[in-house]
Amino acid sequence: MTQLRKLLCGFAAAVLILAASFAHAANEIVIGFTGPLSGPAAEYGQDCVNGVDMAIKEINASGGIVADGQKFLFRLEKMDDQVNPTQTVANARELLDKGALAIFNPVFGTAASLLSINEEECSEFILLAYTSSAKADTIKNNLFVVPAPPLTVYAKLFADWAWERGWRKAAMVVTLGSYGEEWRQIFRSNWEKLGGRITADKPANYYTRTDFMAPLKAALETNPDVMLIGGPSATTALVIEQARTMGYKGGFLLVDQAKMDSIAQMLDGTRLMENVIGTASVNSIPMPISAAFDKKYRESYRRINTWEAVMHYVSMHALAKAIAAAGTQDDVYAVRAAFGKAMPLLGDRYPGEVFSIAPSGRMHCQSIAQTISGGKFSPGNAYIWWTNTPEEFESVKKLSKTTAPLKFIKLK
Protein backbone atom coordinates (compact mmCIF):
# COMPACT_ATOMS: atom_id res chain seq x y z
CA MET A 1 0.00 0.00 0.00
CA THR A 2 2.84 2.40 0.79
CA GLN A 3 4.33 1.89 -2.67
CA LEU A 4 0.91 2.37 -4.24
CA ARG A 5 0.41 5.66 -2.36
CA LYS A 6 3.79 6.85 -3.60
CA LEU A 7 2.87 6.02 -7.18
CA LEU A 8 -0.50 7.73 -6.86
CA CYS A 9 1.11 10.74 -5.22
CA GLY A 10 3.65 10.96 -8.00
CA PHE A 11 0.88 10.86 -10.58
CA ALA A 12 -1.11 13.53 -8.73
CA ALA A 13 1.98 15.71 -8.46
CA ALA A 14 2.56 15.40 -12.20
CA VAL A 15 -1.01 16.55 -12.84
CA LEU A 16 -0.58 19.54 -10.53
CA ILE A 17 2.72 20.46 -12.13
CA LEU A 18 1.10 20.33 -15.56
CA ALA A 19 -1.83 22.46 -14.36
CA ALA A 20 0.55 25.04 -12.90
CA SER A 21 3.06 24.88 -15.74
CA PHE A 22 2.17 28.27 -17.16
CA ALA A 23 2.67 29.94 -13.77
CA HIS A 24 6.01 28.23 -13.18
CA ALA A 25 7.14 28.86 -16.74
CA ALA A 26 6.77 32.55 -15.99
CA ASN A 27 8.41 32.01 -12.58
CA GLU A 28 5.24 32.89 -10.71
CA ILE A 29 4.17 31.76 -7.25
CA VAL A 30 0.40 31.50 -6.99
CA ILE A 31 -1.26 32.83 -3.82
CA GLY A 32 -4.91 31.96 -3.26
CA PHE A 33 -7.70 33.75 -1.43
CA THR A 34 -11.13 32.34 -0.63
CA GLY A 35 -13.56 34.41 1.39
CA PRO A 36 -16.79 36.42 1.28
CA LEU A 37 -16.67 38.68 -1.78
CA SER A 38 -20.43 38.97 -2.18
CA GLY A 39 -23.35 39.21 0.22
CA PRO A 40 -23.54 41.09 3.55
CA ALA A 41 -19.90 40.27 4.44
CA ALA A 42 -18.48 41.35 1.07
CA GLU A 43 -16.97 44.59 2.44
CA TYR A 44 -15.06 42.59 5.04
CA GLY A 45 -13.76 40.09 2.50
CA GLN A 46 -12.78 42.84 0.06
CA ASP A 47 -10.69 44.62 2.72
CA CYS A 48 -8.86 41.36 3.38
CA VAL A 49 -8.09 40.55 -0.25
CA ASN A 50 -7.08 44.16 -0.95
CA GLY A 51 -4.30 43.86 1.63
CA VAL A 52 -2.90 40.74 -0.06
CA ASP A 53 -3.23 42.36 -3.47
CA MET A 54 -1.41 45.54 -2.42
CA ALA A 55 1.49 43.61 -0.90
CA ILE A 56 1.85 41.41 -3.98
CA LYS A 57 1.93 44.43 -6.28
CA GLU A 58 4.63 46.05 -4.15
CA ILE A 59 6.74 42.89 -3.95
CA ASN A 60 6.48 42.33 -7.70
CA ALA A 61 7.31 45.99 -8.44
CA SER A 62 10.50 45.62 -6.38
CA GLY A 63 11.59 42.61 -8.44
CA GLY A 64 9.97 39.74 -6.53
CA ILE A 65 11.88 37.22 -4.43
CA VAL A 66 14.62 34.66 -4.96
CA ALA A 67 13.98 30.98 -4.22
CA ASP A 68 15.46 27.77 -5.64
CA GLY A 69 18.11 29.94 -7.28
CA GLN A 70 15.53 31.79 -9.39
CA LYS A 71 13.62 35.04 -9.19
CA PHE A 72 9.86 34.70 -8.68
CA LEU A 73 6.91 37.05 -8.89
CA PHE A 74 3.55 36.44 -7.22
CA ARG A 75 0.11 36.02 -8.76
CA LEU A 76 -3.08 36.38 -6.72
CA GLU A 77 -6.06 34.14 -7.47
CA LYS A 78 -9.19 35.15 -5.52
CA MET A 79 -12.49 33.31 -5.18
CA ASP A 80 -15.81 34.02 -3.46
CA ASP A 81 -17.10 31.43 -1.01
CA GLN A 82 -19.96 33.43 0.60
CA VAL A 83 -18.91 31.94 3.98
CA ASN A 84 -20.01 28.47 2.87
CA PRO A 85 -17.52 25.81 4.10
CA THR A 86 -18.39 23.43 1.27
CA GLN A 87 -17.69 26.14 -1.28
CA THR A 88 -14.50 27.09 0.58
CA VAL A 89 -13.14 23.58 0.20
CA ALA A 90 -14.15 23.47 -3.47
CA ASN A 91 -12.41 26.81 -4.00
CA ALA A 92 -9.26 25.57 -2.28
CA ARG A 93 -9.10 22.51 -4.51
CA GLU A 94 -9.46 24.71 -7.58
CA LEU A 95 -6.75 27.04 -6.28
CA LEU A 96 -4.48 24.04 -5.75
CA ASP A 97 -5.10 23.01 -9.36
CA LYS A 98 -3.79 26.45 -10.28
CA GLY A 99 -0.64 25.78 -8.27
CA ALA A 100 -1.35 27.73 -5.07
CA LEU A 101 1.41 27.53 -2.47
CA ALA A 102 -0.66 29.30 0.20
CA ILE A 103 -4.31 30.24 0.66
CA PHE A 104 -5.71 33.13 2.70
CA ASN A 105 -9.10 32.79 4.42
CA PRO A 106 -10.58 35.33 6.87
CA VAL A 107 -13.45 33.44 8.58
CA PHE A 108 -12.75 30.80 11.22
CA GLY A 109 -15.79 28.70 10.35
CA THR A 110 -14.58 28.25 6.77
CA ALA A 111 -10.89 28.18 7.68
CA ALA A 112 -11.61 25.19 9.91
CA SER A 113 -12.82 23.27 6.86
CA LEU A 114 -9.49 23.96 5.16
CA LEU A 115 -7.53 22.70 8.14
CA SER A 116 -8.98 19.27 7.45
CA ILE A 117 -7.41 19.18 3.97
CA ASN A 118 -4.30 21.40 3.89
CA GLU A 119 -1.96 18.61 5.02
CA GLU A 120 -3.30 16.01 2.60
CA GLU A 121 -0.43 14.17 0.96
CA CYS A 122 0.40 15.66 -2.46
CA SER A 123 -2.01 18.57 -1.92
CA GLU A 124 -0.40 20.48 0.93
CA PHE A 125 -0.74 24.23 1.21
CA ILE A 126 -0.08 26.88 3.86
CA LEU A 127 -3.28 28.29 5.33
CA LEU A 128 -3.18 31.90 6.51
CA ALA A 129 -6.39 32.29 8.50
CA TYR A 130 -7.23 35.75 9.76
CA THR A 131 -9.09 34.81 12.92
CA SER A 132 -9.03 35.83 16.56
CA SER A 133 -10.57 32.53 17.65
CA ALA A 134 -8.60 31.17 20.59
CA LYS A 135 -9.58 27.69 19.41
CA ALA A 136 -7.17 28.17 16.52
CA ASP A 137 -4.30 28.02 19.02
CA THR A 138 -5.26 24.48 20.05
CA ILE A 139 -5.24 23.06 16.52
CA LYS A 140 -2.21 20.97 15.63
CA ASN A 141 -1.45 21.77 12.04
CA ASN A 142 2.05 22.24 10.68
CA LEU A 143 0.94 24.48 7.81
CA PHE A 144 -1.11 27.02 9.78
CA VAL A 145 -0.49 30.77 10.24
CA VAL A 146 -2.81 33.13 12.15
CA PRO A 147 -2.13 36.85 11.55
CA ALA A 148 -4.36 38.28 14.30
CA PRO A 149 -4.37 38.58 18.11
CA PRO A 150 -6.77 36.30 20.05
CA LEU A 151 -10.24 37.50 20.99
CA THR A 152 -9.55 36.55 24.63
CA VAL A 153 -7.63 39.83 24.93
CA TYR A 154 -10.58 41.92 23.79
CA ALA A 155 -13.19 39.95 25.75
CA LYS A 156 -11.30 40.60 28.99
CA LEU A 157 -10.43 44.21 28.16
CA PHE A 158 -13.97 45.17 27.10
CA ALA A 159 -15.51 43.56 30.17
CA ASP A 160 -13.12 45.50 32.42
CA TRP A 161 -13.80 48.80 30.63
CA ALA A 162 -17.59 48.26 30.76
CA TRP A 163 -17.42 47.46 34.48
CA GLU A 164 -15.38 50.60 35.15
CA ARG A 165 -18.15 52.64 33.51
CA GLY A 166 -20.66 51.31 36.01
CA TRP A 167 -22.47 48.98 33.64
CA ARG A 168 -23.71 45.81 35.33
CA LYS A 169 -26.31 44.27 32.98
CA ALA A 170 -25.22 43.04 29.54
CA ALA A 171 -27.19 41.54 26.65
CA MET A 172 -25.58 39.74 23.71
CA VAL A 173 -26.66 39.90 20.05
CA VAL A 174 -23.59 38.41 18.38
CA THR A 175 -23.14 36.66 15.04
CA LEU A 176 -23.91 32.97 14.73
CA GLY A 177 -21.18 30.37 14.18
CA SER A 178 -18.19 29.11 16.12
CA TYR A 179 -16.53 32.56 16.26
CA GLY A 180 -19.64 34.23 17.69
CA GLU A 181 -20.24 31.38 20.12
CA GLU A 182 -16.67 31.63 21.36
CA TRP A 183 -16.98 35.39 21.86
CA ARG A 184 -20.20 34.96 23.86
CA GLN A 185 -18.78 32.24 26.08
CA ILE A 186 -15.53 34.05 26.86
CA PHE A 187 -17.18 37.42 27.43
CA ARG A 188 -19.79 35.83 29.68
CA SER A 189 -17.05 34.21 31.76
CA ASN A 190 -15.16 37.50 32.17
CA TRP A 191 -18.35 39.47 32.86
CA GLU A 192 -19.71 37.10 35.48
CA LYS A 193 -16.33 36.92 37.25
CA LEU A 194 -16.61 40.69 37.73
CA GLY A 195 -20.12 40.25 39.17
CA GLY A 196 -22.04 41.29 36.05
CA ARG A 197 -25.21 39.67 34.75
CA ILE A 198 -26.06 38.50 31.22
CA THR A 199 -29.70 39.45 30.70
CA ALA A 200 -30.20 38.00 27.18
CA ASP A 201 -28.29 35.95 24.61
CA LYS A 202 -29.79 36.27 21.12
CA PRO A 203 -27.31 35.24 18.40
CA ALA A 204 -28.11 36.19 14.80
CA ASN A 205 -26.54 35.50 11.42
CA TYR A 206 -24.62 38.65 10.47
CA TYR A 207 -23.57 37.08 7.16
CA THR A 208 -27.05 36.66 5.70
CA ARG A 209 -29.46 38.70 7.81
CA THR A 210 -30.42 42.32 7.04
CA ASP A 211 -33.14 42.81 9.68
CA PHE A 212 -32.18 42.44 13.35
CA MET A 213 -35.34 43.86 14.91
CA ALA A 214 -36.51 40.56 16.44
CA PRO A 215 -33.32 39.61 18.37
CA LEU A 216 -32.80 43.27 19.35
CA LYS A 217 -36.36 43.55 20.67
CA ALA A 218 -35.87 40.44 22.82
CA ALA A 219 -32.56 41.79 24.15
CA LEU A 220 -33.83 45.33 24.82
CA GLU A 221 -36.81 44.01 26.77
CA THR A 222 -34.31 42.94 29.47
CA ASN A 223 -33.19 46.59 29.91
CA PRO A 224 -29.41 46.09 29.51
CA ASP A 225 -26.81 48.76 30.32
CA VAL A 226 -24.60 47.53 27.49
CA MET A 227 -24.85 45.12 24.57
CA LEU A 228 -22.16 42.89 23.12
CA ILE A 229 -22.80 42.87 19.36
CA GLY A 230 -21.02 42.24 16.12
CA GLY A 231 -19.88 40.35 13.09
CA PRO A 232 -18.79 41.97 9.81
CA SER A 233 -18.74 45.77 10.03
CA ALA A 234 -21.54 46.37 7.52
CA THR A 235 -24.18 44.38 9.37
CA THR A 236 -22.87 45.55 12.75
CA ALA A 237 -23.53 49.12 11.62
CA LEU A 238 -27.07 48.06 10.79
CA VAL A 239 -27.53 46.56 14.28
CA ILE A 240 -26.41 49.84 15.90
CA GLU A 241 -28.73 51.86 13.68
CA GLN A 242 -31.72 49.61 14.36
CA ALA A 243 -31.05 49.49 18.12
CA ARG A 244 -30.92 53.28 18.32
CA THR A 245 -34.10 53.53 16.23
CA MET A 246 -35.75 51.27 18.81
CA GLY A 247 -34.81 53.72 21.58
CA TYR A 248 -31.71 52.05 23.03
CA LYS A 249 -29.38 54.60 24.65
CA GLY A 250 -26.88 52.28 26.36
CA GLY A 251 -23.37 51.20 25.38
CA PHE A 252 -22.10 48.78 22.77
CA LEU A 253 -19.16 46.38 22.92
CA LEU A 254 -18.07 45.34 19.44
CA VAL A 255 -16.53 41.94 18.72
CA ASP A 256 -13.15 42.45 17.09
CA GLN A 257 -14.36 41.58 13.58
CA ALA A 258 -16.43 44.78 13.57
CA LYS A 259 -14.30 47.89 13.02
CA MET A 260 -15.30 51.23 14.53
CA ASP A 261 -13.90 53.43 11.77
CA SER A 262 -15.68 51.45 9.04
CA ILE A 263 -18.94 51.56 10.99
CA ALA A 264 -18.62 55.32 11.57
CA GLN A 265 -18.24 55.81 7.82
CA MET A 266 -21.29 53.66 7.09
CA LEU A 267 -23.34 55.58 9.68
CA ASP A 268 -22.16 58.97 8.41
CA GLY A 269 -20.35 59.78 11.62
CA THR A 270 -20.43 58.90 15.31
CA ARG A 271 -23.86 60.32 16.21
CA LEU A 272 -25.29 56.82 16.82
CA MET A 273 -22.06 55.43 18.29
CA GLU A 274 -21.89 57.09 21.69
CA ASN A 275 -20.41 54.77 24.34
CA VAL A 276 -19.10 52.26 21.83
CA ILE A 277 -16.05 50.19 22.81
CA GLY A 278 -14.18 48.23 20.15
CA THR A 279 -10.95 47.65 18.27
CA ALA A 280 -9.24 50.92 17.44
CA SER A 281 -9.04 52.51 14.02
CA VAL A 282 -5.83 51.86 12.11
CA ASN A 283 -4.64 55.43 12.27
CA SER A 284 -5.09 55.70 16.05
CA ILE A 285 -1.97 53.54 16.55
CA PRO A 286 0.63 55.67 14.79
CA MET A 287 3.52 54.01 12.99
CA PRO A 288 6.18 55.93 11.05
CA ILE A 289 4.84 54.40 7.83
CA SER A 290 1.11 54.77 8.65
CA ALA A 291 0.35 58.02 6.82
CA ALA A 292 2.11 56.97 3.62
CA PHE A 293 0.44 53.54 3.65
CA ASP A 294 -2.98 55.06 4.33
CA LYS A 295 -2.62 57.51 1.44
CA LYS A 296 -1.50 54.81 -0.98
CA TYR A 297 -4.23 52.39 0.08
CA ARG A 298 -7.02 54.97 -0.28
CA GLU A 299 -5.74 56.03 -3.67
CA SER A 300 -5.43 52.42 -4.87
CA TYR A 301 -8.75 51.03 -3.63
CA ARG A 302 -10.97 54.10 -3.11
CA ARG A 303 -11.99 53.02 0.39
CA ILE A 304 -10.86 53.56 3.95
CA ASN A 305 -7.94 51.64 5.36
CA THR A 306 -8.78 48.88 7.88
CA TRP A 307 -6.96 46.39 10.09
CA GLU A 308 -8.13 43.62 7.76
CA ALA A 309 -6.28 45.29 4.91
CA VAL A 310 -3.24 46.06 7.08
CA MET A 311 -2.78 42.59 8.56
CA HIS A 312 -3.31 40.81 5.25
CA TYR A 313 -0.76 43.17 3.71
CA VAL A 314 1.71 42.49 6.53
CA SER A 315 1.15 38.71 6.50
CA MET A 316 1.66 38.57 2.72
CA HIS A 317 5.00 40.31 3.21
CA ALA A 318 5.81 37.81 5.97
CA LEU A 319 4.97 34.93 3.62
CA ALA A 320 7.24 36.35 0.91
CA LYS A 321 10.08 36.76 3.38
CA ALA A 322 9.55 33.21 4.66
CA ILE A 323 9.74 31.81 1.13
CA ALA A 324 12.99 33.71 0.54
CA ALA A 325 14.39 32.61 3.91
CA ALA A 326 13.49 28.97 3.21
CA GLY A 327 15.09 29.23 -0.22
CA THR A 328 12.29 27.23 -1.82
CA GLN A 329 8.88 27.83 -3.36
CA ASP A 330 8.02 24.12 -3.48
CA ASP A 331 8.52 22.82 0.07
CA VAL A 332 5.55 24.20 2.00
CA TYR A 333 6.78 22.77 5.31
CA ALA A 334 10.13 24.51 4.92
CA VAL A 335 8.39 27.78 4.11
CA ARG A 336 6.09 27.51 7.15
CA ALA A 337 9.08 26.72 9.38
CA ALA A 338 10.86 29.84 8.10
CA PHE A 339 8.16 32.31 9.21
CA GLY A 340 10.07 33.11 12.39
CA LYS A 341 13.01 34.25 10.25
CA ALA A 342 10.74 36.80 8.56
CA MET A 343 10.16 38.61 11.86
CA PRO A 344 10.05 41.16 13.33
CA LEU A 345 8.15 43.35 10.90
CA LEU A 346 8.08 46.82 12.43
CA GLY A 347 6.26 50.10 11.98
CA ASP A 348 9.04 51.92 10.16
CA ARG A 349 8.32 49.72 7.12
CA TYR A 350 4.90 48.16 7.79
CA PRO A 351 1.59 49.65 9.01
CA GLY A 352 1.13 46.84 11.54
CA GLU A 353 3.82 45.25 13.68
CA VAL A 354 4.54 41.53 14.11
CA PHE A 355 7.23 40.60 16.62
CA SER A 356 7.34 36.80 16.52
CA ILE A 357 5.20 33.73 15.90
CA ALA A 358 3.96 31.08 18.32
CA PRO A 359 4.38 27.34 17.62
CA SER A 360 0.62 27.23 16.96
CA GLY A 361 1.07 29.74 14.10
CA ARG A 362 -0.42 32.73 15.93
CA MET A 363 1.47 35.90 15.03
CA HIS A 364 2.42 38.06 17.99
CA CYS A 365 0.94 41.46 17.11
CA GLN A 366 -0.52 44.19 19.30
CA SER A 367 -4.17 44.22 20.35
CA ILE A 368 -5.68 47.67 19.97
CA ALA A 369 -8.78 49.18 21.59
CA GLN A 370 -10.65 52.46 21.60
CA THR A 371 -13.87 54.13 22.78
CA ILE A 372 -16.20 56.83 21.48
CA SER A 373 -17.30 59.46 23.99
CA GLY A 374 -18.79 62.86 23.31
CA GLY A 375 -18.88 61.93 19.64
CA LYS A 376 -15.10 61.63 19.49
CA PHE A 377 -12.73 58.68 19.22
CA SER A 378 -10.44 58.31 22.22
CA PRO A 379 -6.70 57.79 21.64
CA GLY A 380 -6.01 54.17 20.75
CA ASN A 381 -4.54 51.82 23.33
CA ALA A 382 -2.09 49.11 22.24
CA TYR A 383 -1.65 45.99 24.37
CA ILE A 384 1.09 43.38 24.46
CA TRP A 385 -0.53 40.09 25.48
CA TRP A 386 1.99 37.30 24.79
CA THR A 387 4.84 38.24 27.16
CA ASN A 388 5.11 36.57 30.56
CA THR A 389 7.61 38.75 32.45
CA PRO A 390 8.35 42.49 32.77
CA GLU A 391 11.66 41.87 31.02
CA GLU A 392 9.95 40.26 28.01
CA PHE A 393 7.47 43.13 27.83
CA GLU A 394 10.23 45.73 27.94
CA SER A 395 12.14 44.01 25.14
CA VAL A 396 9.07 44.17 22.89
CA LYS A 397 8.42 47.76 23.92
CA LYS A 398 11.96 48.77 22.96
CA LEU A 399 11.69 46.99 19.63
CA SER A 400 8.40 48.60 18.60
CA LYS A 401 8.39 51.65 16.33
CA THR A 402 4.93 52.87 17.31
CA THR A 403 4.65 56.19 19.13
CA ALA A 404 1.53 55.04 20.98
CA PRO A 405 2.03 53.93 24.59
CA LEU A 406 2.21 50.14 24.87
CA LYS A 407 0.47 48.42 27.78
CA PHE A 408 0.64 44.91 29.17
CA ILE A 409 -2.43 42.74 29.65
CA LYS A 410 -2.30 39.43 31.51
CA LEU A 411 -4.72 36.84 30.21
CA LYS A 412 -4.31 34.18 32.89
Residue 261 and residue 401 in one domain = yes
Q: What is the pLDDT of residue 318?
A: 98
Average pLDDT value over all residues in the chain: 92
Q: Print the domain residue range for 302.
A: 2-149+288-364
Q: CB–CB of 273/252 below 8 Å?
A: yes
**Overall number of domains in the chain:** 2
Residue 244 and residue 311 in one domain = no
Is residue 19 scored above 90 in pLDDT? no
Residue 42 and residue 129 in one domain = yes
The string of pLDDT tens digits covering residues 129-177 is: 999 999 999 999 999 999 999 999 999 999 999 999 999 999 999 999 8
The string of pLDDT tens digits covering residues 181-222 is: 999 999 999 999 999 999 999 999 998 888 999 999 999 999
Residue 172 and residue 198 in one domain = yes
Last residue of a domain, one of 328, 348, 364: 364
Q: What is the pLDDT of residue 412?
A: 67
The CATH number given to whatever domain includes residue 162 is 3.40.50.2300
Alpha-carbon gap, residue 106 to 275, rounded angstroms: 28
At CA 300, angle to CA 296 and CA 302, rounded to 5?
Answer: 105
Q: What is the pLDDT of residue 321?
A: 98
Q: CB–CB of 86/345 below 8 Å?
A: no
Residue 63 and residue 121 in one domain = yes
Alpha-carbon gap, residue 236 to 44, rounded angstroms: 11
Please report, rounded to a whole number, the percentage of residues in the chain having pLDDT higher than 70: 93
Q: Which amino acid is at 131?
A: T
User: What is the pTM assigned to this prediction?
Assistant: 0.88
φ/ψ (deg, to 5) at 410: -100, 125
Which of 24-33, 236-245, 370-379 holds the top average pLDDT?
236-245
List strand residue ranges (DSSP E) for 45-160, in order.
65-67, 70-80, 100-105, 126-129, 144-145
Is residue 363 scored above 80 in pLDDT? yes
Alpha-carbon gap, residue 93 to 114, rounded angstroms: 10
Alpha-carbon gap, residue 233 to 106, rounded angstroms: 14
Is residue 307 scored above 70 in pLDDT? yes
Is residue 1 scored above 80 in pLDDT? no
Residue 393 and residue 293 in one domain = no
The string of pLDDT tens digits covering residues 80-119 is: 999 999 999 999 999 999 999 999 999 998 999 999 999 9
9 pLDDT band, cuts 50/70/90, is low
Residue 143 and residue 196 in one domain = no
Residue 89 and residue 130 in one domain = yes
Cβ contacts of 102 within 8 Å, gap of 6 or more = 31, 32, 125, 126, 127, 128, 319, 332, 335
Question: 372 has which bridge partners?
Answer: 276, 377
Q: What is the pLDDT of residue 7?
A: 40
Is residue 22 scored above 80 in pLDDT? no
Residue 251 and residue 307 in one domain = no
Residue 180 and residue 221 in one domain = yes
DSSP characters for 327-341?
T-SS-HHHHHHTGGG
The string of pLDDT tens digits covering residues 228-246 is: 999 999 999 999 999 999 9
Is residue 356 scored above 50 in pLDDT? yes
The string of pLDDT tens digits covering residues 310-342 is: 999 999 999 999 999 999 999 999 999 999 999
Q: What is the pLDDT of residue 5?
A: 33
Residue 296 and residue 252 in one domain = no
Distances, alpha carbon 93 to alpha carbons 19, 87, 132, in Å: 12, 10, 25
Alpha-carbon gap, residue 65 to 29, rounded angstroms: 10
Residue 389 and residue 261 in one domain = yes
